Structure 1
Amino acid sequence: MIMEIPKEAVLLRVFIGEDDRDGNRPLYEAIVLKARELHLAGATVLRGAMGFGHSSRLHTAKILRLSEDLPLIIEIVDSEEKINAFLPTLDGLMTSGLVTLEKVKVLQYGPPAKS
């Protein structure tokens, strides 16, 4: 199945911690797998070296400390319609975290067009 993204799309960003769970599996994994199941164009998980959130507790990956609940960002870009349809599913998976949406312009998706 070839996925198409319109030139005007929406970027969904989900900010969570590495220790956040959905049952027995990591929350980031549950979100990405659900996005794939619902045929969203793609998802990427980014791991932060340092951050803090609502609790103001600092999470860091300093050499002398084991990583402690490092920040993760999940980015998904697709049409506004498909992202909006995914939001109730995301809400059902999350118990805390931050979710943002912004309009983006897609310049290229997939291999370049043949001339």
Structure 2
Amino acid sequence: MTLEGPARRLTIVVGENDTWHGRPLYTEIVHRAHAAGLAGASVFRGIEGFGASNHIHTTRILSLSEDLPVAVVIVDRAEPVHRFVDEVAPLVEEGLITLADVEVVRYVGRGS
């Protein structure tokens, strides 16, 4: 797949312990993105943060959290990203979903 120029970035922020039918929610999102044929998805684990609940989650030892924020970032063309948002939005009971216009400068895989 080639991807260059205008694109859309989907970011879904959920809790590390959020699940969907017994598996981590972020894993479910990544696997659905793969099945949908999207260009790629990455999961980033936060070391500290808070959201709508206003509760701070952190990796610091004195206040160690077991539910750190996790961000799933997906970049592809606008149309497939918007279709995918409609599929995964109902899975996110607590969290944040954002869309942003981006410019892909380089998208190259191993062996390309």
SS at match of 1:100: strand
| Number of equivalences | 110
Superposed CA offset, 1:13-47 (max 9, x none):
00111011101000000000000001100000000
TM-score, L = length of structure 1: 0.89
Paired residues of 2:38 and 2:80 also in contact (CA < 8 A):
yes
User: Which segments of structure 1 move beyond 6 Å, counting only runs of 4 or more?
Assistant: none
Paired residues of 1:50 and 1:59 also in contact (CA < 8 A):
yes
RMSD: 1.5
Map residues 51-90 of structure 1 onto 2, 5 A cutoff. 51-90=49-88
Paired residues of 2:4 and 2:106 also in contact (CA < 8 A):
no
- The equivalent position to 1:49 in structure 2, one of 47, 68, 78, is 47
Residues of 2 paired with 1:65 and 1:96: CA distance? 22
Cross-structure match for 2:93: 95
Cross-structure match for 2:26: 28
Residues of 2 paired with 1:66 and 1:97: CA distance? 20
Map residues 104-115 of structure 1 onto 2, 5 A cutoff. 104-110=102-108
Question: How far off its partner does 1:65 sit?
Answer: 4.5
Superposed CA offset, 1:38-63 (max 9, x none):
11000000001000000101101112
TM-score, L = length of structure 2: 0.91
Percent identical among aligned pairs is 43
Residues of 2 paired with 1:4 and 1:87: CA distance? 21
Residues of 1 paired with 2:48 and 2:27: CA distance? 20
